[in-house]
Amino acid sequence: MRNYLHVDLTTGLIEEKIIDPALARDFIGGSGLTARLLYDLIDQNTDPLGPDNPLLFMTGPLVGTSMPSAGRCTISALSPLTGFWGESNTGGFIGPELRFAGYDGMLITGRSEKPCWISVINGEVKLHDANKLWGQDTYQTQETIRKILAEPKARIACIGAAGEQLVKMAAVINDHGRAAGRTGMGAVMGSKNLKAIAFRGSGKAPLNDPEAFKETVTAILESLKEDISVQAMRMAGTAGYVDMALMFGDMPTRYYQQGEWEEGSNLSGVLMAEKHLTRNTACYRCPIVCGRETQTVKYKVDAVDGPEYETIASFGSLLMIDDLESVIYAGHLCNIHGLDTISTGSTIALACELFDKGILTKEQTGGLDIKYGDVEMAHRLIELTAHREGFGDLLAEGSAALAARFDVPEMSATVRNLEIPMHDSRAFSGMAPIYALSPRGACHMQGDIYLVDTGQGPPGELGIHPGDRFDNSEDKGRTAARVQAWRSIYNALTVCQFMNPGASQLLAGLNAATGWDYSLEELMKAGKRIFTLKRMLNIKLGSTQADDRLPDFMLTSLKDGGSLGFVPELEPLLAGAYKEHGWDPDTGIPKQETLAEFGLEFTTKQ
């Protein structure tokens, strides 16, 4: 990690910034290094949709190398949806192309007076007028820019209608339908009048010891050939988890109110592969090839990116819709308009629940009946939300705002104002502290202990072992915290979390790429350092221990399904997680000795 590009859209300033090597080693890259670089630039006075909110694209030291599944990119800023740390992550080819173009990252500040887009081609940076692009959907935008540049292989990150309208769950879309979906980074781009960024380069990602790196990559590729979870992912994608999720009670139904739903099997990834799959797609140098390209005859769309499991659950079981083709189309609408499928589906599901209980009426929805199972209404609400039209203007603010508007904040399935993903912590107790402590709000990518407890997660050499999915002990909380630390490393490298070759092999690759001399113990310490830094950043932004919680209704047992009668007990689970992270058990604030050990004393001097 050597440099990043800084573009000030207010002044037109374009400059290269050198990354401090000590910071690079301590925080590695991705969201780790991003959190450190942005820590001094945001506080409670920063307007998330103002020109002073810095938006940072960041790769990691393995991105663009031959390391399998290392093609990701982090996009971060102060979140307009949550008011806290905003972090999103996308696959495809955008991260590698950014490095090939000459930079490890790109910082965007200020606000352009008129709509603009940026090209970064082999180190040459230009600002362009985007008036003719404004209003185009994300697929049109990518195609138009490639034609303008005469670069058919240029990789473009862009926003659609949702980003332009400052919808707080707006995504950044790249590589056709890949999405940096969570926390509203698309709205931050829109607030800067920035429609898109195009990258193209002929450079190479640097390696300190190419031979040692090649040996490690060869060994990892061999190990992946024998990995059953990789084979399953290739066959059915993330949607292959649907049947297992239904069995465990992990796939939320009727806005987390129902434990069992027989019709959910109609959303199976196997069924999608049989009836709708046109081809598998892969991110940069990924042997897993979990991406899906599907088609829908009913809606006359020949090429749809996805849907992934999260989208299937968000617009399927959560809304009581079992028509897979309609769910595929809902995901497509979110892609072209640039919407996070998790937050959008969850917010629409909350509207269904409010309407069902009589809290929300036709008078407040502009005459719309908003009911579970109504496919056409779901599609209509996606359109209204993306364009902030009618009732969609309120939906565009997200679930927490919708619930607060009708004086029922406890009905919002959010943590730190971010919608909970499609894994129910009543099915896997360890997800409760994962959600409660996730720095960007509820997030399964900050700790996938549901995969650990089904034998598919990080390796046991880190003290992370499969356990009882209904365990409410402090030990389970400590395990969850170790998973958070390890996935913080993944989000810093930044590597896809479906690629789990073993910690020692990943460590060898990192050291060979960078010339660092990390041990496994030091690497885990770096994960905790990154996670604790984000904790301190959220504290700086006003978060308190009171935010370490789940909605009360999600701590009430369900009457049927795979989690029948069980609820996670947050007190012991959080106690264990606090201990593992080195945070004060009474306040949840990192202890002074922990901050000193991690070199984070600067966070107490604000």
Q: How far apart are CA 311 and CA 380, in angstroms?
A: 17
pLDDT at residue 606, as a whole number: 60
Q: 3-200 and 239-407 share one CATH topology?
A: no
Q: How far apart are CA 204 and CA 196, in angstroms?
A: 23
pLDDT at residue 459, as a whole number: 67
Q: How far apart are CA 308 and CA 248, in angstroms?
A: 19
For tokens 């996935």, the residue is 487
How many Cβ atoms are within 10 Å of 132's Cβ, its own excluded? 12
Locate the domains of the chain by residue range. Answer: 3-200, 239-407, 429-604
HEC letters along 29-65: CHHHHHHHHHHCCCCCCCCCCCCCCCEEEECCCCCCC
Q: Tens digit of pLDDT for each residue in 264-285?
A: 999 999 999 999 999 999 999 9
Which option is the CATH number for 239-407: 1.10.569.10, 1.20.1250.20, 1.10.1760.20, 1.10.3720.10? 1.10.569.10
Residue 432 is classified by DSSP as H
What are 554's two structure tokens? Answer: 């999600």
Q: Tens digit of pLDDT for each residue in 351-374?
A: 999 999 999 999 999 999 999 999
pLDDT at residue 230, as a whole number: 85
In CATH, what number does 3-200 get? 3.60.9.10
Give me the DSSP letters along 349-390.
HHHHHHHHTTSS-HHHHTS----TT-HHHHHHHHHHHHHT-T
pLDDT at residue 515, as a whole number: 97
What are 568's two structure tokens? Answer: 């996670």
What are 560's two structure tokens? Answer: 């049927």
Q: Tens digit of pLDDT for each residue in 110-154?
A: 999 999 999 999 999 999 999 999 999 999 999 999 999 999 999
Q: Which residues of the chain have pLDDT under 70?
A: 459, 606
pTM above 0.85, yes or no: yes
For tokens 């959600």, the residue is 435
Judge contact between 125 and 5, C-beta under 8 A.
yes
CATH class of 429-604: mainly alpha
